[in-house]
């Protein structure tokens, strides 16, 4: 069992998202994240899907997606170099001055932006990998009493050169 | 010149060569029906319930190899066809179902008779869509017919809002359609197929396992040729039964939960299992770890997703059964299977399919008389014990077709499907084998068979029980016949363990019921009455129910308990 990544080109039509996500619930596939947006062609959407599964199930997932009429192309990103990022906003609330210092230190260490600031709160905007975002949330949770988090799910695209530093997941088993 | 949507819909049906539509009216399809009123090339069948309607369309499609067309209204009309959609999806039956929908502007308002039928049926249709733009109507209808019949066939649902039906738009119905996300496989991978054939040829104990893909691809004659040319014996799933003549010396029988002992042992002992057009459903494999444990498995299927899903195979081949067999026939050479065949015969002699003959009329006797009295025709079944007895004892050949609900196991399928088959094949004898439970699930279709002049011989095997479940209660639940006795009334004792003298009478009286519809009814108690009943029914030009009063607690044997290995068969009580 491990995380696997799929890029999915689908028709940009009503009900396609429901059909794709329905497949995962209907067949008990373990969906980690799913993001969707339009592409350079306005009638085509692209999804980035992360699932946790064994090899056999993953093969089946790809086949099941492939046979949907609305699915144009399935690309397995699991073992290819990719760039992958997830947007995340984290609001640290009820801060003391000392808390704010820690928040800024964390922001600096994780290389994320402080995009808003108030009397007793700080807003961080993070564009990290999903894994790094998980670590950041964990750190914020232990460091502060009151945080509010919203995350967008990962988007991924194949790398142009294999040596670039964008890849994250595929080297680790 | 622009035309209305309703005109385009009927134009599409005509250009697709549709001769019969199964339609039930309602507010959101009256426009389409009004347009059909003006044509004289399309027959309209009005059933008595939409579930009956869709099973009739399934029987029609399955018996002709064509597409069944359904037209139902929005809301309850649409939800009533859901079971049939799931049934057709499982058994790969091509249907185009047009559902009316409330006008676009009312969708989402919880309008009268509004349901999200496309959303509800997403997982049980091959494709489903609501037409939201009049300009898209022609292409969408073409897509529906194309998708339903190509690749692995299946049901397609097109939901058409009322205002799309009435508004004007392009009159064109496209001759063909290209769908970028839908490219069914039309070739055979020769390298893979060769690899599969090599394996078969090298085998000492080779076996073909044949499923519903053969009849769907119309490859029965080719399969017979392949079997004879290679001398490799064949076992079938229930959906594949009849793909080769059942009296052929190379045909062993059905494998699976209620299959023949010799067939299941052959599967577990073979060294190469060459399967074509089957999904390796759990009723065929039993315990997956013990399925064909000594065999290398070759799997030919048109649906990529059916390959290596339940059983991981050694040589996967994505191909239409017909194309694959045509190719195999170019290479096929006789193999020496005499010793292997003798061994299989030995197993069959050890435990043949046989019911006791000393306790009155048995289902086996009824099936044997069907074999005897009809040398051609279409035989359909409902779901339950009678279905399994039919799959065990009915003999099939090129002149006899067998249709049953396999994947979904839909009680209530048999009788309406038989009506659909008869409508499509007025010159053929159509025989429906049903139980007393399943027959009552769509009994209202008696009227349809009468008004459509579609006479069917209906064999109701009445044992007063929902027998398949009662069989489980009998074997594993201490004979606690909860909810399975159809004679049970309020005054019956709580702890009834089976039939006795004080049992209330059965209801309904099938003979009187048949007569009330203007059909005929015959009740049969004894073996010697079976053949005369069939002869009488043949003479009637009207649907005839023959009610066979069989023993109340007979079991379907042999059987394999769900999840057990196929080699562990329960052979006798």
Look at domain A2-76 and name its CATH class. Answer: alpha beta
Which among A75, A83, A86, A82 is positioned nearest to A7, based on CA atoms? A75
Asked whether residue B276 falls in the same domain as residue B379, the answer is no
Q: What is the pLDDT of residue A29?
A: 97
Instruction: Tell me how far apart the alpha carbons of residues B537 and B248 are, in angstroms, rounded to a whole number.
Output: 30
Asked whether residue B326 falls in the same domain as residue B370, the answer is no
Q: What is the pLDDT of residue B358?
A: 84
Instruction: Identify the helix (H) or strand (E) that includes residue B316.
Output: strand B315-318
Q: What is the mean pLDDT of residues B522-551?
A: 97
A170 has pLDDT over 60 = no
CATH of domain A83-158: 3.30.70.1150
A165 has pLDDT over 50 = no
Q: What is the mean pLDDT of residues B96-124?
A: 98
**B23 DSSP β-pair partners:** B71
Instruction: Tell me how far apart the alpha carbons of residues B237 and B284 are, in angstroms, rounded to a whole number.
Output: 7
The tokens describing B11, both together, are 């134009």
CB atoms within 10 A of CB B505: 7
Q: What is the pLDDT of residue A173?
A: 33
Q: Does residue B419 contact residue B32 with C-beta atoms inside 8 Å?
A: no
Pairing outcome for strands B520-524 and B544-549: parallel
Asked whether residue B379 falls in the same domain as residue B342, the answer is no
Q: Give the DSSP letter string of B475-521.
A: HHSTT--TTTBSS--TTS-TT--S--TTPPPPSS-HHHHHHHTT-EE
Q: How many residues are listed for chain B in this entry?
A: 573
Q: What is the pLDDT of residue A164?
A: 53
Instruction: Tell me how far apart the alpha carbons of residues B250 and B235 are, in angstroms, rounded to a whole number.
Output: 9
Asked whether residue B7 falls in the same domain as residue B145, the answer is yes
Q: What is the pLDDT of residue B366?
A: 98
Instruction: Tell me how far apart the alpha carbons of residues B465 and B485 are, in angstroms, rounded to a whole number.
Output: 5
Asked whether residue B232 falls in the same domain as residue B373, the answer is no
Which among B286, B31, B316, B548 is positioned nearest to A63, based on CA atoms? B316
Asked whether residue B503 falls in the same domain as residue B369, the answer is yes
B117 has pLDDT over 50 = yes
Pairing outcome for strands B377-381 and B400-403: parallel
Instruction: Report B:481-540 residues touching A (Cβ under 8 A).
Output: none
Which among A124, A127, A115, A132 is positioned nearest to A86, based on CA atoms? A127
**B22 DSSP β-pair partners:** B45, B70
ipTM of the assembly? 0.92
The tokens describing B305, both together, are 């997703």
**Sequence-distant contacts of B127-131: CB under 8 A, at least 24 apart:** B127/A69, B127/B156, B127/B157, B128/B156, B128/B157, B128/B158, B128/B159, B129/A13, B129/A15, B129/B157, B129/B158, B129/B159, B130/A14, B130/A15, B130/B101, B130/B159, B130/B160, B130/B161, B131/B158, B131/B159, B131/B160, B131/B161, B131/B164
Structural domain count of chain B: 3
Chain B contact present for A150, CB below 8 A: no
Residue among B130, B182, B312 whose CB faces A56 most closely = B312
Q: Does residue A62 contact residue A35 with C-beta atoms inside 8 Å?
A: no
Task: Give whole-number Cα distances, B122 to A18, A128, B52, B79, in Å.
Answer: 9, 35, 21, 13
B272 has pLDDT over 60 = yes
Distance of alpha carbon B515 from the chain centroid? 28
Local structure of B82: helix, strand or coil: helix
For residue A161, count CB atoms less than 10 angstroms from its CB and return exposed for 0-12, middle for 13-18, buried for 19 or more: exposed
| Binary contact (B181, A10; C-beta < 8 A) | yes
pLDDT band at B497 (very low <50, low <70, confident <90, very high): confident
Count Cα neighbours of B306 within 13 Å in the Cβ-side half-sphere. Answer: 26
Average of per-residue pLDDT values in chain B = 97
Distance of alpha carbon A3 from the chain centroid? 12
Local structure of A159: helix, strand or coil: coil
Chain A contact present for B331, CB below 8 A: no
| Binary contact (A23, B123; C-beta < 8 A) | yes
Q: Is B50 a catalytic residue?
A: yes
Kindly tell me the sign of the dihedral angle through the C-alpha atoms of B247, B249, B250, B252. Answer: positive
Instruction: Tell me how far apart the alpha carbons of residues B85 and B155 are, in angstroms, rounded to a whole number.
Output: 6
Instruction: Tell me how far apart the alpha carbons of residues B161 and B137 are, in angstroms, rounded to a whole number.
Output: 11
CATH number of the domain within which B267 lies: 3.40.50.1220
Whether the upstream peptide bond of residue B165 has omega within 30° of 0, thus cis, is no
Quote the minimal CA–CA distance from B41 to chain A in Å.
32
Q: What is the mean pLDDT of residues A39-53?
A: 97
Q: What is the mean pLDDT of residues B466-480?
A: 96
Give φ, ψ of B269 to 5 degrees.
Answer: -105, -10
Q: Is B113 a catalytic residue?
A: yes
Instruction: Report B:118-177 residues touching A (Cβ under 8 A).
Output: 118-119, 122-123, 126-127, 129-130, 132, 143, 147
Pairing outcome for strands A122-128 and A113-117: antiparallel
Quote the minimal CA–CA distance from A6 to chain B in Å.
16
Asked whether residue B282 falls in the same domain as residue B371, the answer is no
Q: Which residue of A has its CA nearest to B148?
A: A69
| Binary contact (A22, B122; C-beta < 8 A) | yes
* B157 DSSP 8-state letter: E
For residue B152, count CB atoms less than 10 angstroms from its CB and return exposed for 0-12, middle for 13-18, buried for 19 or more: buried
Q: Burial letters for B41-60: b for 16+ Cβ neighbours within 10 Å, e otherwise?
A: ebeebebbbbbbbbbbbbbb
Q: What is the pLDDT of residue B348?
A: 97
pLDDT band at A162 (very low <50, low <70, confident <90, very high): low
Chain B contact present for A7, CB below 8 A: no
The tokens describing B393, both together, are 């004892």
Give pLDDT tens digits for B361-409: 999 999 999 999 999 999 999 999 999 999 999 999 999 999 999 999 9
Chain B residues with CB inside 8 Å of A11's CB?
181
Chain A residues with CB inside 8 Å of B132's CB?
14
A169 has pLDDT over 60 = no
Q: What is the pLDDT of residue B359?
A: 84
Q: What is the mean pLDDT of residues B319-338?
A: 97
Asked whether residue B433 falls in the same domain as residue B459, the answer is yes
Instruction: Tell me how far apart the alpha carbons of residues B353 and B512 are, in angstroms, rounded to a whole number.
Output: 35
| Binary contact (B123, A26; C-beta < 8 A) | yes
* Interface-testing mutation among B133, B154, B180, B185, with chain A (most A C-beta atoms within 10 A): B180
| Binary contact (B127, A69; C-beta < 8 A) | yes
* Interface-testing mutation among B122, B161, B280, with chain A (most A C-beta atoms within 10 A): B122
Q: Is residue B565 part of a domain?
A: no
Least confident of A113-122, A139-148, B270-279, B351-360: B351-360
Q: Is residue B58 part of a domain?
A: yes
Structural domain of B116: 3-169
Rounded (5°) CA angle B204-B337-B307 = 60
Whether the upstream peptide bond of residue B508 has omega within 30° of 0, thus cis, is yes
Q: Is B468 a catalytic residue?
A: yes
The tokens describing B490, both together, are 């309020």
Residue among B127, B130, B180 whose CB faces A72 most closely = B180
Instruction: Tell me how far apart the alpha carbons of residues A6 and B206 are, in angstroms, rounded to a whole number.
Output: 40
Chain A contact present for B308, CB below 8 A: yes
Asked whether residue B13 falls in the same domain as residue B135, the answer is yes
Give pLDDT tens digits for B515-527: 999 999 999 999 9
The tokens describing B161, both together, are 């809002």
Asked whether residue B339 falls in the same domain as residue B368, the answer is no
Quote the minimal CA–CA distance from B312 to chain A in Å.
9
Q: What is the pLDDT of residue B573?
A: 74
Which among B109, B330, B321 is positioned nearest to B212, based on CA atoms? B321
Instruction: Tell me how far apart the alpha carbons of residues B159 and B113 are, in angstroms, rounded to a whole number.
Output: 13
Asked whether residue B284 falls in the same domain as residue B417, the answer is no
Instruction: Tell me how far apart the alpha carbons of residues B468 and B565 are, in angstroms, rounded to a whole number.
Output: 20
Which among B238, B323, B345 is positioned nearest to B283, based on CA atoms? B238
Asked whether residue B306 falls in the same domain as residue B368, the answer is no
Q: How many CB pairs under 8 A join A and B?
A: 45
Sheet holding B155-161, edge to edge: B43-45, B20-23, B68-72, B95-101, B155-161, B127-130
pLDDT band at A128 (very low <50, low <70, confident <90, very high): very high
**B481 DSSP β-pair partners:** none
The tokens describing B86, both together, are 């799931």
| Binary contact (A15, B179; C-beta < 8 A) | no
Q: What is the mean pLDDT of residues B309-321?
A: 94
Domain spans of chain A? 2-76, 83-158
User: Given this chain, do its domains A2-76 and A83-158 carry the same CATH topology?
Assistant: yes
Distance of alpha carbon B79 from the chain centroid? 21
Instruction: Tell me how far apart the alpha carbons of residues B49 and B47 are, in angstroms, rounded to a whole number.
Output: 6
Give pLDDT tens digits for B60-77: 999 999 999 999 999 999
Of B426 and A170, the structure prediction assigns the larger pLDDT to B426
**A51 DSSP β-pair partners:** A4, A31
Which among B470, B540, B462, B546 is positioned nearest to B505, based on CA atoms? B462
CB atoms within 10 A of CB B451: 14
């Amino acid at each position: 069992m491990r995380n696997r990544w799929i890029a999915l080109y689908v028709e940009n039509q009503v009900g396609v998202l429901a059909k794709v996500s329905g497949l995962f619930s209907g067949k008990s596939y373990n969906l980690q994240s799913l993001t969707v947006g339009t592409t350079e062609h306005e009638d085509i959407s692209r999804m980035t899907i992360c699932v946790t599964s064994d090899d056999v199930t993953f093969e089946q997932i790809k086949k099941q997606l492939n046979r949907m009429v609305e699915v144009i192309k399935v690309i397995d990103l699991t073992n290819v170099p990719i760039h992958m990022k997830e947007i995340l906003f984290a609001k640290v609330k009820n801060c003391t001055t000392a808390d704010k210092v820690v928040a800024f230190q964390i922001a600096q260490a994780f290389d994320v932006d402080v995009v808003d600031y108030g009397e007793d709160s700080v807003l961080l905007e993070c564009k990290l990998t999903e894994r790094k975002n998980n670590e950041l949330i964990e750190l914020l949770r232990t460091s502060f009493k009151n945080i509010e988090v919203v995350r967008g799910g990962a988007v991924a695209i194949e790398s142009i050169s294999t040596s670039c530093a964008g890849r994250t997941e595929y080297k680790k088993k | 010149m622009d035309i209305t949507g309703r005109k385009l819909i009927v134009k599409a049906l005509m250009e697709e060569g549709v001769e019969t539509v199964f339609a039930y009216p309602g507010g959101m399809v009256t426009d389409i029906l009004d347009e059909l009123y003006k044509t004289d090339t399309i027959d309209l069948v009005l059933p008595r319930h939409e579930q009956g309607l869709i099973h009739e369309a399934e029987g029609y499609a399955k018996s002709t190899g064509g597409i069944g067309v359904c037209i139902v209204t929005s809301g309850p009309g649409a939800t009533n066809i859901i079971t049939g959609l799931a049934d057709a999806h499982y058994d790969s039956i091509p249907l185009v179902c047009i559902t009316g929908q409330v006008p676009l502007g009312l969708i989402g308002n919880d309008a009268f008779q509004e349901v999200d039928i496309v959303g509800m049926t997403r997982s049980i249709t091959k494709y489903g869509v609501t037409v939201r733009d009049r300009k898209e109507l022609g292409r969408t209808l073409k897509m529906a017919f194309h998708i339903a019949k190509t690749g692995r066939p299946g049901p397609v649902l097109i939901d058409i809002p009322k205002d799309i039906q009435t508004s004007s738009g392009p009159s064109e119905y496209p001759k063909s359609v290209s769908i970028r996300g839908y490219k069914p496989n039309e070739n055979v991978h020769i390298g893979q197929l060769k690899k599969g054939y090599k394996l078969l040829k090298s085998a000492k104990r080779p076996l073909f396992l044949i499923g519903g893909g053969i009849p769907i691809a119309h490859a029965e004659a080719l399969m017979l040729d392949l079997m004879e040319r290679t001398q490799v014996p064949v076992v079938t799933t229930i959906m594949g039964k009849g793909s080769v003549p059942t009296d052929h010396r190379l045909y062993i029988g059905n494998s699976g939960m209620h299959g023949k002992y010799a067939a299941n042992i052959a599967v577990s002992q073979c060294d190469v299992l060459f399967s074509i057009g089957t999904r390796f459903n759990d009723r065929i494999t039993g315990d997956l770890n013990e399925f064909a444990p000594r065999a290398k498995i070759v799997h030919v299927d048109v649906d990529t997703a059916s390959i290596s899903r339940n059983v991981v195979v050694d040589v996967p081949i994505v191909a239409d059964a017909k194309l694959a067999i045509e190719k195999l026939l170019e290479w096929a050479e006789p193999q020496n299977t005499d010793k292997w065949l003798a061994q299989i015969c030995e197993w069959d002699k050890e435990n043949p399919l046989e019911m006791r003959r000393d306790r009155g009329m048995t289902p086996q006797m009824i099936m044997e008389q069907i074999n005897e009295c009809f040398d051609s025709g279409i035989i359909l079944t409902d779901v339950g014990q009678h279905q399994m007895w039919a799959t065990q004892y009915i003999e099939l050949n090129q002149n006899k077709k067998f249709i049953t609900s396999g994947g979904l196991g839909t009680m209530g399928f048999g009788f309406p499907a038989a009506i659909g088959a008869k409508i499509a094949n007025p010159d053929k004898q159509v025989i429906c084998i049903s139980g007393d439970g399943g027959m009552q699930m769509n009994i209202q279709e008696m009227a349809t068979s009468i008004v459509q002049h579609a006479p069917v011989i209906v064999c109701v095997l009445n044992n007063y029980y929902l027998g398949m479940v009662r069989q489980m209660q009998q074997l594993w639940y201490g004979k606690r016949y909860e909810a399975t006795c159809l004679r049970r009334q309020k005054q019956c004792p709580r702890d009834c363990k089976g039939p006795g003298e004080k049992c209330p009478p059965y209801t309904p009286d099938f003979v009187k019921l048949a007569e009330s519809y203007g059909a005929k009814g015959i009740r049969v108690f004894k073996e010697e009455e079976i053949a005369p009943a069939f002869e009488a029914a043949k003479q009637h030009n009207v649907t005839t129910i023959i009610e066979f009063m069989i023993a109340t607690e007979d079991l379907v044997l042999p059987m394999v308990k769900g999840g057990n290995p196929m080699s562990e068969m329960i052979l006798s009580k």
